[in-house]
Amino acid sequence: MEEQQRRSAEDLPGVPPSTPDTAGEHAPVPAGKPGPAEPRRSRLKIFNKLMEKSLQRLVADAGFSRFCHSFHPLCKQNPQMAEVIHKQFISDLQKSIQDEISNMIEEGNLEVKLENLDKLEELAKGTPEPTWRPSGVPEQDVCSVLVSYHQGQEEYVRRELRKLQKENAVLADQVLAGRQTIAQSEQRIAAAVEEWKASVADLESFVLSLCPSENFDSL
């Protein structure tokens, strides 16, 4: 019965003939010699292949014999008309399902998302660590994520602290150098003042020596 339905589905217009899936079949490999690794197909191609097979199985299940069983009076009265109606029904069904699949791919942006998954898988091949998987205990999973996050934050704060400490040390050195410069300037000013006072005292002594006070008294 299933073979008859499959044959009837293959005879319908627009339905590709059902072919056996030979993707997993390989030539026999001698013992002890590993076979060549097959390149992994993209997820988009696998998705399209699954949709195509699902549509073929759906069409096969909606064969003409089942149609006749559901609409027996019509098929008995006018079998040719029933066959035409069935073919049109299958054609419209195929077109409607294909349109729905196309809309689903377009609205969900599945093409880009599946390609991104393929890229992520390729990038993950070079990582030695296994990919993280949930343990089934939400508390442990959340704690593991939060612990790693807080550890990263702690390391970031430590780096920033070391950076600020270095900047503060540089600023402290600059302040110390400025204080030393000010102290040296104060010492130079004090020395200049003392020299000026000494010069004034010498000048006064020299003036007094030239003009003694008794000369002024005699005038």
Three-state SS string over the chain comes to: CHHHHHHHHHCCCCCCCCCCCCCCCCCCCCCCCCCCCCCCCCHHHHHHHHHHHHHHHHHHHCCHHHHHHHCHHHHHHCHHHHHHHHHHHHHHHHHHHHHHHHHHHHHCCHHHHHHHHHHHHHHHCCCCCCCCCCCCCHHHHHHHHHHHHHHHHHHHHHHHHHHHHHHHHHHHHHHHHHHHHHHHHHHHHHHHHHHHHHHHHHHHHHHHHHCCHHHHHHC
Q: Decide: 75 and 110 in contact? Cβ < 8 Å.
A: no
Q: Decide: 45 and 114 in contact? Cβ < 8 Å.
A: no
What's the start-to-end Cα distance of the chain, in Å?
158
Report the chain (219 residues): mean pLDDT per 10 consecutive residues.
44 44 45 51 85 87 82 83 87 89 87 86 75 78 82 91 94 93 92 88 79 54
Q: Decide: 39 and 125 in contact? Cβ < 8 Å.
A: no
pLDDT at 161: 95
Q: What is the pTM of this model?
A: 0.39
pLDDT at 79: 83
Residue 207 — φ and ψ, nearest 5°? -65, -40
Residue type, 26: H
pLDDT at 10: 46
Helix axis angle for 79-107 and 43-61, nearest 10°, is 160
pLDDT at 32: 46
Task: For the beta carbon of residue 75, count every other beta carbon within 10 angstroms.
Answer: 20
In the numeric block, the tokens 């998987």 are attached to 133
CA angle 32, 37, 42 (to 5 degrees): 160
